[in-house]
């Protein structure tokens, strides 16, 4: 069994436990942010859960990297996983750990490219907006100049940001909050780009299909012409063969006639 | 007659009544929102019209679904109709019922893909902006902090939102208003994506046409070369056949000469 | 001479006078808006020039339409000209008359599709921003709540609007100003879409070129294989012909031998 | 050695010194802007460095232009270098000189088109945001109405601008600052367009690959059919040749028989 086979086996086995951990992480993070009035021991527990998630994801990534035959290729193909492991060093960015879940779900979907993209974009955007709202609220709440002080405000702000509308009735004022906002804007650009690209490729596909249908017709015509040319060639060959056969028959007849003549 | 045929018949027959109902719904909703100073009995009537529209659309959808042979396929192909039926549970979202009208009109247009897209985008965007303005005004008007208090403001706000400009001189403050705004932003993303995609596919089509013309020329040349090779082969074959024929003729002549010689 | 030929002749002859008129219109409009402190008689003169421009453009459009053989096709192909004629009924929208100039200049450019698009987008966007700034300033200046009161502000506002950034530090408050803003936003969407589409088609072209190069190689290989097959066929034919010739020669030899034998 | 060869040699030799100068320019500019409390002689030194950079870049451009065989083509192919030379006349725009560095780095990257675009976009966007923040801070800091007074604010503002979010919590108020902002918005449009285009071309490529795979299969089938037809033809020819050979053999046998018969 090669190392890559081993890696694939491990990835399959670890998939669901890791998704479970990611969900737990999100739940603990969300609960801790949304209910800051919980008793201290519970807040501590929730905090511990969010802190523990990271080393597990790091171990997972390092283990898979160690098992990869082509390391550089592995890093390039799994760059989202890599980012998700590195970035959580900054507290609010731990949200990216969730991307792995989305990727697993994606692998399960077996519909068309456009359907998969629609599902993937909707899921990722929703997750990113939800987690960014939490992180933003967590970062801003304590600041005296903050305009984002409730989860409703944070959600509304995240939505106006990822769509690049940006009314400016709510905006982050802390450095941490602006960092989250910057990532959300980048996500917005990516979102816009992906939606546009999916629609565009669907369009181009429609137009290209029409062109290909025409091409196919042209090729079918070509094939028919080829077949006709072949048939003509074979007809000439048949005539020739017939001629040669008749020649042989005549010669044979004559030969026998000659023989009998002489006999 | 198959179930699908029956469904198609029903869809054709129900088309115009349903469009009429949708127009009635929009008119009643618009009138009720724009003139809140109407006498109570009229406002009630208008409200009843908007409330009645939903069960009719629901019944239409369920009936068509029941008649569909491949249910899952039907749900996927008519997902806009499905959304329009489910979402009106939230009052301001009833505007989506109108999408069905746009779809019917679309089916009537028989021009090129790009023309249809332009017409569809313009129509849908106008409808969405109009209905979102009404819904927003309805949602915001009562709030003391509201910045959107007249239909003019609402229309202006809707326009800055769907184009993702978002000045922020007007913005929703209620949860219901923000929900409408969120849908409008998503519509804005889709609008941007579709416009870009249509232009892009037109461009790509222009470039691809040039490439195809070149391809066609190359293929025509290929075909000409093939035909010439074929013709050369056939010419050789004809020469050979001629040779064999002459051989037969000579032998026949000789044979007769031999026979007459001996005779 | 057909009607369409006549129209083309007229279009060529009227091109430069109409551009001259459009430039005059813009200059008069700009001067009137930017220097409201001019003496009354001069302002009146400038106003008369901007008012006169419209009937001339209208007459031009109607005349060309009358000369068109396929009227509907003419309307569809020249929809920008049509819009520019209809919309000036609203004063600030007269700016659109200028689009005709851009179209003429465009026809003169004979570079590649992407170069033409870049030139066209830059020119159109600059014209639209300039004229919209003037119209906005004209519309807003008189309002007590106006935030756009100098040409610098108007230009800045127009730029933030067409790029859909929309800070909201300046925004229109009058109905007329919002109408201009709405048109500028639509122009912004179109601008974004066109820029993206041009870049995308350039990309797709690069990728498609690579694919076509590969295709060409595959086809060249195919052609070589075809040629080899042809050559093989012809070689077999040559063998056969040789055989038949040898046969004839032998028979002829034998025949002569037989004849001499008998002689 | 042609002039173009000479130019290429010069470009290779001057590459790294010019990058060094650009880095020096950025460092001096950044240090001068970020630490306005430095002693006067140091500020003067930094200023001199930024002032000296321009004539060097100008001389480089003019020298390369002089060595170019096709001047117009050179100007068109190196339009970014040209812009970077012309624009620094306006102080904050000197940032564009850096673009030359990005181009050199780009030439070093030899990965796929999409990878190169991703790297190029990330690098250019980061450079542009960084330099625009510096220029903006430099331009705005002195104004009493300024909302951008720290480097953090400037960076945050630049990010909201290039992504076209535009909250409006920070915005330029000086003419110089608005000029920088305008360029940043144009960069934002270009950024959005390029990201979208890259994603779109990747999509279209995926769809086109599928189509080509199908095409290839169809063509392979065609080729197989052609080969089979060819083989059938050749088999017929071989049979015929065999026939003629047998005929010759029989005639030869008969001839000999006839000869021996007569002997």
Q: Are residues D51 and D137 in the same domain?
A: no
Is there a contact between D233 and C233 if contact means CB atoms under 8 Å apart? yes
Give the C-alpha separation, B44 to C173, whole Å.
34
Facing residue for D193 by CB, picked from C165, C195, C218 = C195
Q: Is the pLDDT of residue C179 over 70?
A: yes
DSSP C74: H
* Cβ(A157)–Cβ(A178) below 8 Å: no
The CA distance from C167 to the nearest CA of chain B, in Å, is: 5
The CA distance from A217 to the nearest CA of chain D, in Å, is: 13
The CA distance from C22 to the nearest CA of chain B, in Å, is: 28
Q: Are residues A117 and A104 in the same domain?
A: no
Host H or E run for residue A58: helix A40-67
Q: Are residues A43 and A26 in the same domain?
A: yes
More confidently predicted of B190 and A94? B190
More confidently predicted of B181 and C90? B181
Chain B residues touching D196 at Cβ < 8 A: 196
The CA distance from B136 to the nearest CA of chain D, in Å, is: 21
Residue among A180, A156, A189 at smallest CA distance from A170: A156
Facing residue for C243 by CB, picked from D245, D252, D262 = D245
In a domain, D234, yes or no: no
In a domain, B69, yes or no: yes
Residue-wise pLDDT for A152-209, tens only, equals 999 999 999 999 999 989 999 999 899 889 988 988 888 888 888 887 777 777 666 7
Give the C-alpha separation, A189 to A181, whole Å.
12
What tokens appear for A172 in the block? Answer: 């982050």
pTM above 0.90, yes or no: no
Q: Are residues D201 and D158 in the same domain?
A: yes
Residue numbers in chain B where pLDDT is lower than 70: 1, 80, 84, 86-116, 119-120, 206-208, 210-211, 254-263
Q: Is the pLDDT of residue C160 over 90?
A: yes
Q: Are residues D83 and D14 in the same domain?
A: yes
Is there a contact between C244 and B243 if contact means CB atoms under 8 Å apart? yes
The CA distance from B93 to the nearest CA of chain D, in Å, is: 26
Is there a contact between C164 and A164 if contact means CB atoms under 8 Å apart? yes
Q: Is the pLDDT of residue C172 over 90?
A: yes
The CA distance from A197 to the nearest CA of chain C, in Å, is: 9
Distances (CA, A) of D5 to A56, A241, D2, D72: 57, 66, 5, 17
Residue-wise pLDDT for B167-213, tens only, equals 989 999 998 899 889 988 988 888 888 888 887 777 777 666 766 77
Q: How many CB atoms lie within 10 A of CB C102?
A: 19
More confidently predicted of C16 and D33? D33
Choice among A28-42, A102-116, C249-263 with the minimum mean pLDDT: A102-116
Residue-wise pLDDT for B83-107, tens only, equals 767 655 444 444 444 555 555 555 5
**Residue B87's pLDDT is what?**
59
Q: How many CB atoms lie within 10 A of CB B136?
A: 31
Among the candidates A75, A108, A141, a domain finishes at A108
Q: Are residues D92 and D68 in the same domain?
A: yes
Give the C-alpha separation, C90 to C99, whole Å.
16
Give the C-alpha separation, C95 to C84, whole Å.
8
Average pLDDT (A47-63) is 83
For chains A and D, CB pairs below 8 A equal 121
What is the number of alpha carbons within 13 Å of residue D160 lying toward its C-beta?
34
Is there a contact between C164 and B169 if contact means CB atoms under 8 Å apart? no
**Residue A36's pLDDT is what?**
81
Task: Return the residue of B nearest to A118 by Cα.
Answer: B190
Query: Where does chain B have alpha helices with state H?
Result: 3-34, 40-67, 71-77, 79-86, 99-108, 113-140, 151-162, 175-262
Task: Return the residue of B nearest to A168 by Cα.
Answer: B168
Torsion on CA atoms C80, C86, C88, C92, rounded to nearest 10: -70
More confidently predicted of D208 and A32? A32
Who's near C215: CB < 8 A, 6+ residues apart? D212
The CA distance from B224 to the nearest CA of chain A, in Å, is: 11
Interface of D to B at Cβ within 8 Å reads: 164, 166-168, 196-197, 200, 204
* Cβ(A122)–Cβ(A131) below 8 Å: no
The CA distance from B136 to the nearest CA of chain C, in Å, is: 18
Among the candidates D81, D99, D117, a domain finishes at D99
Who's near A59: CB < 8 A, 6+ residues apart? none
Give the C-alpha separation, C88 to B237, whole Å.
77
Facing residue for D169 by CB, picked from A168, A208, A216 = A168
SS3 annotation, D60-89? HHHHHHHHCCCHHHHHHHCHHHHHHHHHHH
Task: Return the residue of C nearest to B195 by Cα.
Answer: C193
Is there a contact between C167 and A164 if contact means CB atoms under 8 Å apart? no
Task: Return the residue of B nearest to D244 by Cα.
Answer: B244
What is the number of alpha carbons within 13 Å of residue D186 lying toward its C-beta?
11
Residues in chain C: 263
* Cβ(D106)–Cβ(D116) below 8 Å: yes
Residue among C230, D232, A222 at smallest CA distance from B229: C230
Chain D residues touching B166 at Cβ < 8 A: 166
Who's near D75: CB < 8 A, 6+ residues apart? D65, D82
Is there a contact between A152 and B175 if contact means CB atoms under 8 Å apart? yes
The CA distance from C150 to the nearest CA of chain D, in Å, is: 12
Angle at D170 between CA A142 and CA D24, to 5 degrees: 105
Residue among C225, D244, A215 at smallest CA distance from B229: C225
Question: Tokens 């902090």 — which residue?
Answer: B145
Domain count, chain D: 2
Chain A residues touching C167 at Cβ < 8 A: 168
What tokens appear for B55 in the block? Answer: 């069960």
Give the C-alpha separation, B115 to B119, whole Å.
6
Q: Are residues C114 and C98 in the same domain?
A: no
Average pLDDT (C128-153) is 90
In a domain, D248, yes or no: no
Average pLDDT (C127-143) is 87
Give the C-alpha separation, C93 to C159, whole Å.
18
CATH of the domain at A203: 1.10.287.70
More confidently predicted of A238 and B208? A238
Is there a contact between C207 and D168 if contact means CB atoms under 8 Å apart? no
Helix (H) and strand (E) counts for chain D? 8, 0
In a domain, D189, yes or no: yes
- For residue A204, count CB atoms less than 10 angstroms from its CB and return exposed for 0-12, middle for 13-18, buried for 19 or more: buried
Mean pLDDT in consecutive groups of 10 residues from the start of chain D, 263 residues: 80 76 81 86 86 82 86 76 61 48 50 65 80 88 91 93 91 90 87 81 71 74 77 78 77 62 46
Percent of chain A with pLDDT over 70: 79
Chains near D with 3+ CB pairs less than 8 A apart are A, B, C
Facing residue for B156 by CB, picked from C178, C186, C241 = C178
**Residue D103's pLDDT is what?**
55
Q: Are residues C159 and C196 in the same domain?
A: yes
In a domain, D255, yes or no: no
**Residue A173's pLDDT is what?**
92
Question: Tokens 């009493």 — which residue?
Answer: D144
Band (A46; pLDDT cuts 50, 70, 90): confident
Percent of chain A with pLDDT over 90: 13
Residue among B151, B112, B113, B157 at smallest CA distance from B134: B151
Choice among A18-22, A111-115, D104-108 with the minimum mean pLDDT: D104-108
Chain B residues touching C234 at Cβ < 8 A: 232-233, 236
Task: Return the residue of D nearest to C207 by Cα.
Answer: D205
Chain B residues touching A166 at Cβ < 8 A: 166, 168
**Residue C115's pLDDT is what?**
67
Average pLDDT (C156-185) is 91
Q: Are residues A189 and A151 in the same domain?
A: yes
Is there a contact between A199 and B204 if contact means CB atoms under 8 Å apart? no
Is there a contact between B230 and A233 if contact means CB atoms under 8 Å apart? yes
Best D161, D166, D244 residue to mutate vs chain B (most B CBs within 10 Å): D166
Chain B residues touching C256 at Cβ < 8 A: none
Band (A263; pLDDT cuts 50, 70, 90): very low
Residue among A107, A166, A176, A102 at smallest CA distance from A137: A176
Give the C-alpha separation, D248 to D16, whole Å.
82
Q: Are residues D79 and D169 in the same domain?
A: no
Give the C-alpha separation, D227 to B200, whole Å.
41
Question: Tokens 């009607």 — which residue?
Answer: C3
What tokens appear for A17 in the block? Answer: 């436990």
Facing residue for C196 by CB, picked from A164, A168, A196 = A196
Question: Does residue A168 come out as left (phi exceeding 0), alpha (psi in the -120 to 50 range) or beta?
Answer: left
Q: Are residues C69 and C140 in the same domain?
A: no
Q: Are residues D26 and D93 in the same domain?
A: yes
* Cβ(C100)–Cβ(C79) below 8 Å: no
In a domain, B126, yes or no: no
Q: By residue range, what is the domain housing residue D115?
A: 109-227
In a domain, A255, yes or no: no
For the four alpha carbons of A116, A119, A123 and A125, in that order, the dihedral sign comes to positive
In a domain, D246, yes or no: no
What is the number of alpha carbons within 13 Å of residue C228 lying toward its C-beta?
7
């Amino acid at each position: 069994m090669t190392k890559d086979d081993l890696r694939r086996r491990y990835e399959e086995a670890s998939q669901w436990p890791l998704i479970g951990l990611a969900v737990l992480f999100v739940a603990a993070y969300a609960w801790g942010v949304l209910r800051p009035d919980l008793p201290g021991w519970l807040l501590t527990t929730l905090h511990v859960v969010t802190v523990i998630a990271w080393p597990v994801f790091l171990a997972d990534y390092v283990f898979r990297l160690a098992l990869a035959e082509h390391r550089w290729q592995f890093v390039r193909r799994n760059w989202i996983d890599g980012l998700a492991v590195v970035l959580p060093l900054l507290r609010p960015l731990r949200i990216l750990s969730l991307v792995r879940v989305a990727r697993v779900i994606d692998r399960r979907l077996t519909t068309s490219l456009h359907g998969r993209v629609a599902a993937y974009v909707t899921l990722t955007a929703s997750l990113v907006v939800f987690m960014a709202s939490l992180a933003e609220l967590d970062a801003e709440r304590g600041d005296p100049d903050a305009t984002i002080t409730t989860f409703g405000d944070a959600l509304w702000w995240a939505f106006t940001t990822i769509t690049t509308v940006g009314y400016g009735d709510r905006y982050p004022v802390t450095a941490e909050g602006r960092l989250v906002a910057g990532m959300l804007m980048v996500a917005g650009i990516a979102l816009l780009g992906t939606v546009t690209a999916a629609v565009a490729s669907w369009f181009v596909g429609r137009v290209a299909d029409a062109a290909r249908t025409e091409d196919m017709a042209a090729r079918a015509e070509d094939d028919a012409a080829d077949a006709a040319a072949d048939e003509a060639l074979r007809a000439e060959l048949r005539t020739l063969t017939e001629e040669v056969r008749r020649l042989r028959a005549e010669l044979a007849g004559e030969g026998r006639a000659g023989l009998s003549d002489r006999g």
